[in-house]
Structure 1
Amino acid sequence: MSSHSITRRLFLNGIAVGLASYPFEKVEAKEQLSVVAQSPFIASGVAVSHEGEIFLGLPRFPGMEKTFSLARVNSSGQSIPFPGGSWNTWQKGQDGTRAFVMVNAIHLFRDNTLWVVDQGAPPGSQPQAGAQKLVQLDVKTGRIIRVLSFSDAIMPPGARFNDLRIHGNLIFVTDSGLGGVIIHNLSTGKTLRRLSGQKVMRNDGIHLHKGIGGRILADGNGKRPDTASDDIEVDASGTWFYFAVPAGPLKRIKVADLLDTAQTDNQLAQKVEIVAEIPSIGGTCMDTHGNFYLADAENSRITVLSPQGKRATLVQDDRLISPDALFIDRHRRLYIPCPQLQKLAFLNNGRNEVRAPFLVLSMPLPESLEGISLGEGVEG
């Protein structure tokens, strides 16, 4: 399949989706959303244990140098360092191999352990060897279960871990620096780097990363963000690997193809399918019915995209400023961190306009939405 034919075809579980604009009726739903956490530091990630404990990822963006990177929300709604000690107190110049440096994502899966994606260096800096890592923790005790870091063959200079999903024994992590996906087998210890630097993993220069009202994000010199493969999902069956840069479009490739080492990255790139056009998003989640939940940063809303290509607004609220990595807990509650990223100077024409506290909002999911049947969260 040529790259031209890829861009002309849109797929969602085999059903065509039109390229037309995606109009929605505005839905005011503040009564549905409740504040479940307030953080003094930017909170861009959220995960909820099977017992209902909330954890937050607190990245070290400019102005957030004192962050403790990973937090547990206590019964009073306060964010406290987790697991505690030196893991939460890193400062510039210190060893970053056994401390959280730049937490970009957190997630919790079926086994009720917490995974943390640490880029190993603040924005604009290069991580020391071993500082860029994946960390698995016991949610009850804070015990470090596993720390995974990889050689330059898997994470070459310029590569940056972004988001993570687990299906069975396979960990999937996107590289938003160079573009690519890392697949690590927890059983065998073997690791693959796939689609490395391929155009399908990078922004195409046509889809521009935007904020509220369609404002094109850029720094004070007009430099736009150049984020490669970012958002990631694996469906409940483990058949499809989905990914997108923040500005879209949403794409997919079969997991079996990614695991087939007889295929080159160039060959794999020809098998990538475009699923749908999407607005600029901060994060996603997916339910067991195959619905995507898109954190729409342009319109301060959460959009549901069904396997049949139908779109509906779940909630729209002015507090949803740069909604980010979404999470559905075991009680079918949706959690939405609102880190205000589009107000950071490097995305806001040089002006830093973020204001604490940083909210995490939550709402119960309905059984259906405008004819779309909604499921539970995919836990891997």
Structure 2
Amino acid sequence: MLDRRNFCKAAVLASGAAALASSHLAHAAALIQAGPPLIEVASLDWLCNALALTSGGRLFVGLPRWPGFEKTPSIAEVLADGTLKPFPGGEWNRWQPGKSGAKALVKINTIHIFDDDTLWAIDQGEDAGPHGINPHQKILQFDTRDGTLLRSISLPPSVLPAGANLNDLRLDSDHAYLTDSGLGAIIIVNLKTGVALRRLADHPSTKMNPERRPLGEHAQPLMMPDGSDHQVHSDPLEISPDGAWLYYQALTGPLWKVPTAALRDTQMTEKALAEQVEFVYDTGALTGTAIDSAGNLYLGEYDKPRVTVLSPDGSLRVAVQDQRLWNPDAMIISNQRELYIPVPQSARMASNRGPNGVNGLQLPFKIYKIRLPTSFGGRETVPAVVGKSLASASS
């Protein structure tokens, strides 16, 4: 097992793919083959790559408008009978090309519900191509009780330049942390002042190394329709339970961490910030992550149907492995100590299989959960950023 304390970060940055060619995740399958049984939570006609739970157990799903799924409502609540109720409702869920996206869900990439029971979403807006600025790319927060918009945050070109794509977000009590997977960077938004920062935009840790190809099921590469490899820069991210560290990586790894205080420090230069970045683990391609209250990182692997767990001591084990888990995406942990796993099968999409790509999707799309063993942590606490929790506020 890799001794992270003695690993030379400079060697990783200098030698690139040669030093990182072998993934330690490849050895994890020998430890545990199956894990706990999968429990089916929902069966959907729409592709789902993210989900969120209120404290009362209401389940919301993120339904991105990816190729072939342009008519999805983008966000919906899964009702008790399994049907979907568009959220927040009305024109928000009925966007079409040519319509304004200012108050509409254009291209939702992720959703989250934190401790105050509000729903946060990343809307990547209309695709303007690798050299354009996406119209109506924004960060949204909704009241889950009635769908009221609480805030909509648009970032200036200095923070979100041409070619940038917001990917995922996490919160602490005062800030939102986001990844830019289009160009590669970490973005921090002060939720009290509105000040936004773009950090590590020139650092190798936020860039996908082209020599580390994204290989999925049966070694099928993740390719654009023109035959080039799909470049996904800084993508999944997590915050440590004490709020001190931000973990992140490009699609194909490796995993890095940086102090959140350093990211927020407007007086710290990019050169000084780069010195704060630490190598964590030589992960392979990851489609989604989660973290628990004990600091265990849950890694949804791209090239294997499983979720592995990287513990703070550097040990790695398989949480669950099953042929139904190809490309598990943005996972969450419930208050009942259950790991929820959406399975969008993104690598099977024709649009991700290069020229003349063949659709390999197996419908319907599933959401599963597993019960976590007592040796793992529970749901990570995220302090409310709008004051009192909606769960305890008067209606």
Q: Which residue of structure 2 aligns with residue 76 of structure 1?
A: 81
Q: Is the 8 A contact 2:134 2:162 kept in 1?
A: no
The one-letter code sitting in structure 1 at the alignment partner of 2:34 is E
User: In the TM superposition, what is the alpha-carbon distance from 1:128 to its structure 2 partner?
Assistant: 5.1
* Whole-angstrom distance in 2 between the partners of 1:80 and 1:327: 21
SS at match of 1:24: helix
* Whole-angstrom distance in 1 between the partners of 2:128 and 2:302: 21
Change (3 A) 1:219 1:352: farther
Q: Is the 8 A contact 2:28 2:318 kept in 1?
A: no
Q: Say which structure is richer in strand.
A: 1
SS at match of 2:233: coil
Change (3 A) 1:308 1:3: closer
Q: Which residue of structure 1 aligns with residue 280 of structure 2?
A: 275
* Whole-angstrom distance in 1 between the partners of 2:382 and 2:306: 23
User: In the TM superposition, what is the alpha-carbon distance from 1:297 to its structure 2 partner?
Assistant: 2.0
The one-letter code sitting in structure 2 at the alignment partner of 1:156 is P
Q: Which residue of structure 2 aligns with residue 233 of structure 1?
A: 238
Q: Which residue of structure 2 aligns with residue 15 of structure 1?
A: none
* Whole-angstrom distance in 2 between the partners of 1:279 and 1:155: 27
* Whole-angstrom distance in 1 between the partners of 2:147 and 2:296: 32
* Whole-angstrom distance in 1 between the partners of 2:267 and 2:82: 51
TM-score normalised to the size of structure 1?
0.90
1:187 equivalent to 2:197? Answer no
Q: Which residue of structure 1 aligns with residue 392 of structure 2?
A: none
* Whole-angstrom distance in 1 between the partners of 2:358 and 2:272: 43
SS at match of 1:359: strand
Per-residue CA distance 1:238-281 (angstroms, 9 max, x = gap): 11011011111110111121122222223322321110011211
The one-letter code sitting in structure 2 at the alignment partner of 1:189 is G
Taking the TM superposition and a 5 Å limit, the aligned residue runs for 1:153-302 are 153-302=158-307
* Whole-angstrom distance in 1 between the partners of 2:227 and 2:167: 24
Change (3 A) 1:76 1:122: farther
How many residues are matched? Answer: 366
- Between stretches 340-349 and 86-95, larger displacement belongs to 340-349
Taking the TM superposition and a 5 Å limit, the aligned residue runs for 1:1-380 are 4-7=10-13, 20=24, 21-25=26-30, 27-28=33-34, 32-122=37-127, 124=129, 129=135, 131-349=136-354, 350-368=357-375, 373-380=376-383
SS at match of 2:290: strand
Q: Is the 8 A contact 1:200 1:269 kept in 2?
A: no
User: In the TM superposition, what is the alpha-carbon distance from 1:188 to its structure 2 partner?
Assistant: 2.1
Per-residue CA distance 1:52-106 (angstroms, 9 max, x = gap): 0111111111111111000100001222211110000000111011100111111
* Whole-angstrom distance in 1 between the partners of 2:250 and 2:198: 18
Change (3 A) 1:158 1:220: closer
User: In the TM superposition, what is the alpha-carbon distance from 1:6 to its structure 2 partner?
Assistant: 4.7
Q: Is the 8 A contact 2:220 2:353 kept in 1?
A: no
The one-letter code sitting in structure 2 at the alignment partner of 1:193 is R
Q: Is the 8 A contact 1:37 1:78 kept in 2?
A: no
Per-residue CA distance 1:312-367 (angstroms, 9 max, x = gap): 11111111121100101111111111001001123223222224311111122111
Q: Is the 8 A contact 1:36 1:77 kept in 2?
A: no
User: In the TM superposition, what is the alpha-carbon distance from 1:378 to its structure 2 partner?
Assistant: 4.3
Q: Is the 8 A contact 2:306 2:319 kept in 1?
A: yes
* Whole-angstrom distance in 1 between the partners of 2:13 and 2:129: 32
User: In the TM superposition, what is the alpha-carbon distance from 1:127 to its structure 2 partner?
Assistant: 5.7
Runs (4 or more) in structure 1 with deviation over 6 Å come to: none
SS at match of 2:157: coil
Change (3 A) 1:77 1:202: same
SS at match of 2:246: strand
* Whole-angstrom distance in 2 between the partners of 1:283 and 1:128: 24
RMSD of Structure 2 on Structure 1 (CA) = 2.2
* Whole-angstrom distance in 1 between the partners of 2:8 and 2:313: 25
Q: Is the 8 A contact 2:52 2:59 kept in 1?
A: yes
* Whole-angstrom distance in 1 between the partners of 2:350 and 2:81: 32
User: In the TM superposition, what is the alpha-carbon distance from 1:196 to its structure 2 partner?
Assistant: 1.9
* Whole-angstrom distance in 2 between the partners of 1:19 and 1:8: 18
User: In the TM superposition, what is the alpha-carbon distance from 1:213 to its structure 2 partner?
Assistant: 3.8
Change (3 A) 1:313 1:151: same
Unaligned runs of 5+ in 2: 1-6, 16-21, 384-395
Unaligned runs of 5+ in 1: 10-17
